[in-house]
Structure 1
Amino acid sequence: MTTQTPHFSRPVHLREIPATGRHFVIDTNEDERRAVARQLGLPSVAALTAKLHVTPFRKDGLAVDGSIHALITQICVVTAEPFESEIEAPVDIRFSPDGQDPNAEFDLAELNDPEAEDPPDLLVGDAIDLGAIVSEFLALALDPYPRKPGVTFEGGEDEASLSPFAALDRLKGKDS
């Protein structure tokens, strides 16, 4: 069994956080940024920083809020050319020993109110990893179909001719 090591690790233990909370400024080094780029399938991550505030949550949990800033290189889905993007993303997550395991299966029918606040994530042990949180929120902020600024996709056919019904009509000999 192999365990996946975090791309960069900044562990914070429950006992390190006073009642008023604690501020963290995370600056990544070149090796950490290279590892994050590899994890996220990016050509490069030129900069990755975070300003986070960790506070106690309930009796034995932790809450993290703040923001991340990244300068990344992505590949345009239209031109296949690399381009730089600047990302600013908020961070807001809570952990509790009685929280929900993010890897556990859940029943969609149990989601009564999609606007309701998410339950806290499961706190395993007495520590969280701010590095893993930063990587996760950067991944969530990425555009799944990045386009170089000013580039638009121009298809050769209109949508009506791409429909499956148009294809069936062509097979029947009814060009429309």
Structure 2
Amino acid sequence: MSDLPTHPIRFADLPTRKRSHFTIEPDSDGRKAIARTIGVLKVKKLRFDGALIPTGKRDWRIEATLGATISQACVISLDPVTTRIDEEITRSYISDFDKRDDTSDDTEVEMIEDDTTDPLPETLDLIDVIAEALVLTMPPYPRKEGIEAETVGVTEPGKAVMTDEDARPFARLAVLRAAAESKNEGPGDEPNKDED
């Protein structure tokens, strides 16, 4: 069983004519569980402050501010890297989300990709919203300041390591052209020289 804290919201229980405000600040154990869930070393501070706003007859929107200080492992040295996250979070929950794709005729409809809109669930856990927002906003490849990646060359024994120059798309063509030119010159031929 997960020790992740929960903060469930049942939309049917919310007033439909006004905002429902919330503030979530998980305790130390809750932050540790969130850190394990999102794969970081530590969540030092965390606050999610906002409102659930009714839109239309049965649709909802979350407008909130996410503030967090997290510690991740450097992708090169594995040393801890601290990152401060301050993000405005917006999520929309649409009751007839699946009907948006239905069309009564064969006309093409261009859908706008919106990764902040989801189907309206019966119950929404705001801790899940926090975890998702942290994953989307934290650095994917944290690097400690002053740490540089080393170049590693791996090849079969006795063969030269491939260089960046070798990897260029036309590098092989240049090698073939040089080989063809040297073949055409022959052993005793000299390149053409202008005669005066």
Normalised TM-score (structure 2): 0.66
Work out which structure has the larger RCO, using CA pairs closer than 8 Å and 6 or more positions apart in sequence: 1
- Contact between 2:90 and 2:116, CA under 8 Å: does it hold in 1? no
Q: Which residue in the other structure is 2:165 paired with? A: 160
The aligned runs of 1:1-176 (5 Å cut-off) are: 7-14=4-11, 15-99=13-97, 112=110, 117-118=114-115, 120-125=117-122, 127-155=123-151, 159-162=164-167
Matches of 1:111 and 1:144 in 2, distance apart? 34
Q: Which residue in the other structure is 2:157 paired with? A: none
Q: Which amino acid aligns with 1:41?
A: G
Shift of 1:35: 1.0
Q: Against the structure 1 CA distance between its residues 5 and 94, is the aligned structure 2 distance closer, same or farther, given a 3 Å change threshold?
A: farther
Q: Against the structure 1 CA distance between its residues 20 and 87, is the aligned structure 2 distance closer, same or farther, given a 3 Å change threshold?
A: same
Structure 1: gaps spanning 5 or more residues: 101-109
1:64-113 CA distance string (max 9 Å, x none): 0121111111011122211211111221101122225xxxxxxxxx9946
- Contact between 2:46 and 2:67, CA under 8 Å: does it hold in 1? yes
Matches of 2:76 and 2:166 in 1, distance apart? 21
Identity of aligned residues (%): 26
- Contact between 2:63 and 2:89, CA under 8 Å: does it hold in 1? yes
Q: Against the structure 1 CA distance between its residues 154 and 113, is the aligned structure 2 distance closer, same or farther, given a 3 Å change threshold?
A: farther
Q: Which amino acid aligns with 1:87?
A: I
Shift of 1:118: 4.9
Matches of 1:48 and 1:17 in 2, distance apart? 27
Question: Structure 1 stretch 42-51 or stretch 116-125: which is displaced more?
Answer: 116-125
Question: How many residues are matched?
Answer: 157
| RMSD over aligned Cα atoms | 3.2
Normalised TM-score (structure 1): 0.73
Q: Which residue in the other structure is 2:158 paired with? A: none
Q: Which residue in the other structure is 1:106 paired with? A: none
- Contact between 1:7 and 1:132, CA under 8 Å: does it hold in 2? no
Q: Against the structure 1 CA distance between its residues 119 and 151, is the aligned structure 2 distance closer, same or farther, given a 3 Å change threshold?
A: closer
Q: Which has the larger radius of gyration?
A: 2
Q: Which amino acid aligns with 1:160?
A: E
Matches of 1:49 and 1:119 in 2, distance apart? 20
